[in-house]
Amino acid sequence: MKQVVPVRPPPVGTLPREQGFTILEILIATAILTLGLVSILALFPYAIDLGKKVMERSTAVTIAKSVAEEIRAGIRNKKRVNTFGPMSYAYFVFDHDGVKDPIPRSREQERPGHDYYILLPKYRPEAQFEGATEDERRNKGAQAGMEFVYPEDDEPMNGGGNPFMAENDADDSPDKSQIMVRKVYTIGNLLPGIDGAKGVAPEAILDDQIQDPFKQYSYAFSIRASKFDTNLSLNPRVFQPGNSLYHIRVMIFRAFTFNEERAQQDGKGPEPIYEMDFEVAK
C-alpha cells in the first residue's frame, strides 16, 4: 500500500502577491491615451475642411459641365448670322440657369444688349500672322485676337452686334495680364417665391428650393479664337485664321463679390474656384 505524504502549506507571508498597476504606470497610460485621442480629434477639422472642398469642387464641376454643354448646344443649334454691309457676324442664344433676360420667342426680338446674346469674336478677313515656326504664327494669331467675357459688362453691350466695335476683355486687368470678371451669371436666380416670381402659391415652394446650395455659386465664361483654327493662307509661313474654331473658358465662383477699388489695387478680380477649358467649332 502506497504511503500518502501530507502537503504542508507554505509559511505565512510567503504567498505570491497579486500583480497590479502603480500610480506611475496609470499616469503614463493615461498620457499615451490622451495623446492618441488628441491626435485623432485633430484630424476632424482637416477632414471636415477636406469634405467641404470635395463637395465644392464636385458642385463646381457639375455646373461647369452643364454650362459647357449649353454653349456647345447654343453654337450648334442657336447660332445666328447678322450682316452689316460686306461683313457678317455670328452670335448664339445662351439659354441656361443664370440668364436673367427673357429668351425671345423669335429671332427678330433678339437684342445684343441682353445677357442671352453671345457675340462670337472674329478676325478681319485680311488678318495674317507671320512667324518662323507654325506655333509662333498661331500664337501670334491667338494673342492678337479679341476675347469676350460673358456676362457682358461693357457699354454698348456686344458692340451693338459688331465684334469689331465690342470691348476686347483680354486686357481688362490693370497689368493687362488676365481676364477681369466683373459680372457673373447667378445659379438658381429664378427659384419660385424667392426672387420675385409671381403666381406661385407659398405652399407650392419646397424647403430644398429655399435652401438650395447652388445659389451660392455663379459663373462666367470667355470666348476667343483658337490658335488651332483653320489656316486659310496658302503661304506656309503665314497663319490666316478661318474664324471657325473657338477656345472657351468656363469660370465657376462661390459667393462672388467684386470691388472695383480693390481690383485696381491688386490688379485682379475674384479668383474662380474651378475653371474648365474646351474648344468648339461653329
Q: DSSP of 64-123, one letter per residue?
A: HHHHHHHHHHHHHHSEEEEEETTEEEEEEE--STT--SPPPSSGGG--TTSTTEEEPP--
Max mean pLDDT among 22-36, 164-178, 219-233 falls in 219-233
Q: Indicate the pLDDT class of residue 144, thresholds 50, 70 and 90.
A: confident
Per-residue pLDDT tens for 31-78?
788 877 777 777 667 667 777 778 888 889 999 999 999 999 999 999
Q: Is residue 191's pLDDT more than 50?
A: no
pTM: predicted TM-score of the whole model, two decimal places? 0.76
Taking the C-alpha atoms of residue 47 and residue 245, their distance in angstroms, rounded to an integer, is: 43
pLDDT at 211 over 80: no
The yes-or-no verdict on residue 269 having pLDDT over 60 is yes
DSSP 271: P
H helices of the chain, where? 23-77, 134-144, 207-210, 260-266
Say what the pLDDT of residue 2 is.
59
Rounded CA-CA distance 166/154 in Å is 8
The pLDDT value recorded for residue 198 is 46
Residue 196 has pLDDT above 50, yes or no: no
Q: How confident is the model over 82-121, as pLDDT tens digits?
A: 887 778 899 999 999 999 999 998 888 999 999 999 999 9
The proportion of the chain whose per-residue pLDDT surpasses 70, expressed as a percent, equals 80
SS3 252: strand
Q: How many residues does the chain have?
A: 282
Of all residues in the chain, what percent carry a pLDDT higher than 90? 39
